[in-house]
Chain A
Amino acid sequence: MNKHLLSIDDLTTDDIEQVFTTAAEMHDVQRREVKKLPALRGRTVINLFFEDSTRTRSSFEIAGKWLSADVINLSAKGSSASKGESLRDTVLTVTAMGIDGLVVRHGASGAAEQISRWIDVPVINAGDGTHEHPTQALLDGYTLTRRLGTLEGKHVAIVGDLTHSRVFRSNVKSLTKLGATVTAVAPPTLMPSGVTAWSEAAGFATSYDLDEVLPQADAVMMLRVQRERMSGGFFPTAREYTVGYGLTRDRLAGLKPGTPILHPGPMNRGLEISADAADAIDSVVLDQVSAGVAVRMSVLYHLLAGEETSA
């Protein structure tokens, strides 16, 4: 595996499978009375979050702690970053404390990669702008693999606010690497610009018609409508979005039996996903959360436990 995890591009299919194999073992640890492995004892990981994210941050925190690492959470709010310090100075200061790994969430696309050029320790991208969120894609792929056995030849529909979704970008890469066919479904206003050329290069299909895609899907991934990232009006009303692209009760009934429903959370119930779908027997939303800890343990282990690399 590469030194850093900045993008799914950093991982080969073998790497992804190795992450999944290890995650399966880590998953077993979660069921134990003593949820602790000594693999990262004496190592310090900093979660540096320039953007709020309770879910991802606590998932990384638990993952690090269950591997016996010392985990410190730093958020930009109330820290020197809000006093005008540059990103580079913040990162160099934090790293100078003698850490062994840095988990970074930043609102700017490419921030994690930029940071990885400044420091010697492994950097894990926990979401950068609208670019990538590799560990989310890995946990989605892991959850699906456990449900479906293999992703080879399976058809995954990714539905919703694709323009603003780093989860979509990372998932397209990881799911296709694992052999799945992906169809991206969104209203024209939320389809990323230049998607035609990209979908040809990356080998996924696009559609504006959810009702046409859903009956063929082996898995459905609903994405959150990211209102906080929207500067303009991307759809007339919430109701209209739900009618066109929400996983409503009717659409739920039209899915193939046993089709897993994913959502990276937090869910806007009643907007992109109905309560019926969110709580459906095939909803794997909570499986994703628990897989998130196992997959992040696996990633931390593979990046931080092994051979000391010469920086």
Chain B
Amino acid sequence: MPAPQTPEAPASTGRVVLDAGDISRALIRISHEILERNKGAEDLLLLGLHTRGVPLARRLAANIADVEGTTVATGELDVTMYRDDLRSNPTRAPHRTQVPAGGIDGKTVVLVDDVLYSGRTIRAALDALSDLGRPAVVRLAVLVDRGHRELPIRADHVGKNLPTARSERVSLRLVETDGEDEVRIK
């Protein structure tokens, strides 16, 4: 599966399409959209997909807490074992999968990821979710949608639609993982 991002690539190449301010504004907007769609923060669980979806989910939760004054549950989901390309890549140790003690049954789960591309990661995430329980609703929030879907999957909340060529690479860096907030296209 093509890699949607290249975290190790040098930051200076390519063109900046979202800077720190853009990212912050996009996340605030998504937070409001989530609240509006859910009619509040009740039964809401923001589940970040490793690696960069996890800090994004936490930021969204912090935004929602600012607006609503309530804490929203967050979790982490690793989909390594559920990928359909396991056999064509070297194995790697999976990250932590962590859901709040109450589980996901009956919750409105918002999957949070950085870049939506082929849709295969989200398919794997949906499989992983079904092994964890049965949410009432599953929605998808992504910071960047770069198109080129290979599966019938679309996001409910998008920070920025970014038309790209397949040959281009979208590099997303976050303060928590890379020391700065930035989306570049190369």
Task: List which B120-146 residues lie within 8 A (CB) of chain A.
Answer: 127, 131-133
Give complex CA distance A34, B128 in Å.
10
> What is the CB-to-nearest-CB distance from B127 to chain A, in angstroms, rounded to a whole number?
7
Q: Is the CB of A33 within 8 A of B82?
A: no
Q: Is the CB of A34 within 8 A of B131?
A: yes
Task: For A305, list chain B residues within 8 Å (CB).
Answer: 86-87, 91
> What is the CB-to-nearest-CB distance from B45 to chain A, in angstroms, rounded to a whole number?
16
Among the stretches B4-12, B29-37, B52-60, B93-101, the one at the interface with A is: B93-101
Among the stretches A35-43, A83-91, A190-198, A204-212, the one at the interface with B is: A35-43
Task: For A39, list chain B residues within 8 Å (CB).
Answer: 80-82, 86
Contact residues on B (Cβ < 8 Å of other chain), bracket: 10 to 19
Tally the A-B contacts, defined by beta carbons under 8 Å: 48
B89 in the interface (beta carbon within 8 A): yes
Bitwise, A17-48 to B at CB < 8 A (1) or not (0) is 01001100100100011101111000000000
A250 in the interface (beta carbon within 8 A): no
Task: For B114, list chain A residues within 8 Å (CB).
Answer: none
Q: Is the CB of B82 within 8 A of A38?
A: yes
Given A22-B94, A25-B97, A307-B87, residue A32 in contact with residue B81 (CB < 8 A)? no
Given A33-B133, A37-B131, residue A18 in contact with residue B93 (CB < 8 A)? yes
Task: List which B56-85 residues lie within 8 A (CB) of chain A.
Answer: 78, 80-82
Task: For A34, list chain B residues within 8 Å (CB).
Answer: 131-132
Given A32-B131, A32-B132, residue A25 in contact with residue B96 (CB < 8 A)? yes
> What is the CB-to-nearest-CB distance from A14 to chain B, in angstroms, rounded to a whole number?
10
> What is the CB-to-nearest-CB distance from B49 to chain A, in angstroms, rounded to a whole number?
15
A228 in the interface (beta carbon within 8 A): no
Given A33-B133, A36-B131, residue A28 in contact with residue B91 (CB < 8 A)? no
A200 in the interface (beta carbon within 8 A): no
Q: 18 A-B residue contacts at CB 8 Å?
A: A21-B93, A21-B94, A22-B93, A22-B94, A25-B78, A25-B93, A28-B96, A28-B97, A32-B132, A36-B131, A37-B81, A38-B81, A39-B80, A301-B91, A302-B91, A305-B86, A305-B91, A306-B87
